[in-house]
């Protein structure tokens, strides 16, 4: 099955699109995804392949997840998500631990945003959330992004405490990809939980927040309210 997946992906490879994707996902020297390699396969095709081979063995998943090719890792994560959703507790445990021991390969924002909510967030939902704090304290950019994106699972269910806790930990982060992720999750708290909760959080911190984080967080507020935050007049 693993060979079939690889053959199908290679058959769809498009060098011209690979160049475009490599540029878009910042794979150049000194950029956040330096060295990542693309085949040039589009997301609808990777999703179709993942659905077709959703019963791939755990060994096969690990092989894909550790591939040098971005799209193979993308397919691996899609299959992991599907198996996690349908699996028993043993399956969920195995997928969760495989995920956290392979974060070096979950090394771009699309891979994190695809999977953190559905694997890390879902696994920790009935459990203590200490792992989120560990991830948020990591030197690894992607683990920090995983920490905040995992809380999307709770926001969807009307819970915001863990999102605000991890957001506080990441307020002084230096990387723009963390600024956008935290701002996005704060915006979702305001949208799905309560605008008051969002604004209570912002009023104490917005003057110290990175501009990108603040702009994302206030995006759905009324225009007058947004402008007041941006002018420091709250």
CA 92, distance to chain mean position in Å, is 18
Mean local confidence (pLDDT), 64-77 = 98
Percent above pLDDT 90 for the chain? 96
Q: What is the pLDDT of residue 234?
A: 85
- % of the chain at pLDDT higher than 70: 100
Confidence band, pLDDT 50/70/90 cuts, at residue 120: very high
Mean model confidence pLDDT for the chain: 96
Rounded to whole angstroms, the Cα distance separating 112 from 132 reads: 14
115: Cβ contacts below 8 Å, ≥ 6 apart: 77, 80, 81, 99, 106
The CB density around residue 132, as the number of other CB atoms within 10 Å, is 24
Global confidence as pTM: 0.95
Q: What is the pLDDT of residues 11-61, one digit of tens each?
A: 999 999 999 999 999 999 999 999 999 999 999 999 999 999 999 999 999
Backbone φ and ψ of 68, nearest 5°: -75, -15
Asked if residue 186 lies in contact with residue 204, where contact means CB atoms within 8 angstroms, the answer is: no
Q: Tens digit of pLDDT for each residue in 187-216?
A: 999 999 999 999 999 999 999 999 999 999
Q: What is the pLDDT of residue 160?
A: 97
Taking only the tens place, the pLDDT of each residue in 144-177 is 999 999 999 999 999 999 999 999 999 999 999 9
- How buried is residue 61: exposed, middle or buried, by Cβ count under 10 Å (0-12/13-18/19+)? buried
pLDDT for the residue numbered 1: 86
Structure tokens at 2: 């693993």
The SS3 assignment for 37 reads strand
């Amino acid at each position: 099955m693993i060979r079939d997946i690889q053959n199908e992906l290679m058959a769809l490879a498009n060098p011209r699109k690979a160049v475009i994707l490599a540029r878009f996902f910042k794979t150049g020297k000194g950029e956040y995804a330096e060295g990542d390699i693309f085949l040039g396969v589009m997301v609808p095709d990777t999703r179709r392949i993942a659905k077709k081979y959703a019963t791939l063995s755990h060994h096969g998943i690990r092989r894909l997840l550790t591939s040098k090719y971005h799209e193979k890792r993308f397919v691996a994560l899609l299959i992991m998500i599907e198996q996690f959703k349908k699996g028993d507790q043993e399956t969920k445990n195995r997928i969760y631990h495989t995920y956290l021991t392979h974060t070096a390969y979950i090394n771009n924002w699309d891979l994190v945003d695809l999977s953190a909510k559905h694997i890390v967030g879902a696994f920790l939902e009935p459990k203590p959330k200490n792992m989120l704090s560990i991830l948020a304290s990591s030197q690894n950019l992607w683990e920090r992004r995983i920490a905040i994106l995992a809380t999307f699972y709770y926001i969807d269910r009307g819970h915001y405490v863990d999102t605000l806790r991890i957001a506080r930990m990441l307020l002084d982060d230096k990387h723009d990809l963390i600024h956008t992720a935290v701002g996005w999750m704060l915006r979702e708290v305001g949208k799905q939980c309560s605008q008051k909760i969002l604004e209570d959080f912002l009023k104490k911190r917005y003057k110290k927040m990175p501009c990108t984080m603040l702009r994302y967080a206030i995006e759905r507020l009324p225009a007058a309210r947004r402008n007041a935050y941006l002018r420091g007049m709250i």
